[in-house]
Structure 1
Amino acid sequence: MHIVHDSLAGTLESSDAVVRVSPLPTLEVTVVSTVEAQFGAQIRAVVAETLDALAVESGRVVVEDKGALDCTLRARVQAAVARACDEPLDWSAL
């Protein structure tokens, strides 16, 4: 998928995350989390797996996590990417 717009998904409430996506020639992922010490590697893995499943090869992805579960992180990344692309999302691939 090709990111062409800035987009946002999620909230900064406890147990949620905000994912911001914007166009960039390369792929850049930044994670800021209140539970970075315990779950930083897992959060990065979930974000990377979700971006791979969506075939995102470029763009800036910023995740501000407030203790979200993996399923919430996946949903926020999917929603932000879907909003940032002009092409339809193939939900069956996820």
Structure 2
Amino acid sequence: MTIKKAAKCGTLESNDIFLILTPSEDGIEIELESTVEKQFGDHIREVIKAKLLELGIDSVQVQAQDKGALDYTIRARIEAAVARSL
């Protein structure tokens, strides 16, 4: 499934993540900026991708600006952004 329109969710505050989802036809593309990119970048991408697939989204472009968000915050923000985009 693909999303219908662009959606935003989150903030740029500490311990949060700001996401922008936009429609795409090229699978799941993740563009990540993070204060902890070197340590946790791959893990953050995997959490984002797993949550999208869990929600049935297989084609979307994700722009993420992470400020140290924990996994449950990332999953909640993805879920809210997907709900807004459908």
Shorter-chain TM-score range: over 0.9
- Which SS does the other structure have where 1:8 is aligned? strand
What is the RMSD of the two structures over their aligned residues, measured on CA atoms? 0.9
In our comparison, the structure showing a higher alpha carbon Rg is 1
Provide the rounded CA distance (Å) in 2 between the counterparts of 1:58 and 1:48.
10
Provide the rounded CA distance (Å) in 1 between the counterparts of 2:69 and 2:20.
15
Runs of at least 4 residues of structure 1 off by over 3 A? none
Q: Unaligned stretches of 5+ in structure 1?
A: 86-94
Match of 1:9 in 2: 9
Provide the rounded CA distance (Å) in 2 between the counterparts of 1:44 and 1:60.
12
Provide the rounded CA distance (Å) in 2 between the counterparts of 1:59 and 1:51.
9
Q: Unaligned stretches of 5+ in structure 2?
A: none
Kindly state the Cα deviation for residue 61 of structure 1 after the two structures are TM-superposed.
0.9
Deviations 1:15-55 (A, max 9, x none): 00001001111121111111001111110111111011011
Percent identity reads: 46
Normalising to structure 2: TM-score of the pair? 0.93
Normalising to structure 1: TM-score of the pair? 0.85
Provide the rounded CA distance (Å) in 2 between the counterparts of 1:81 and 1:61.
11
Residue 41 in 1 paired to residue 42 in 2? yes
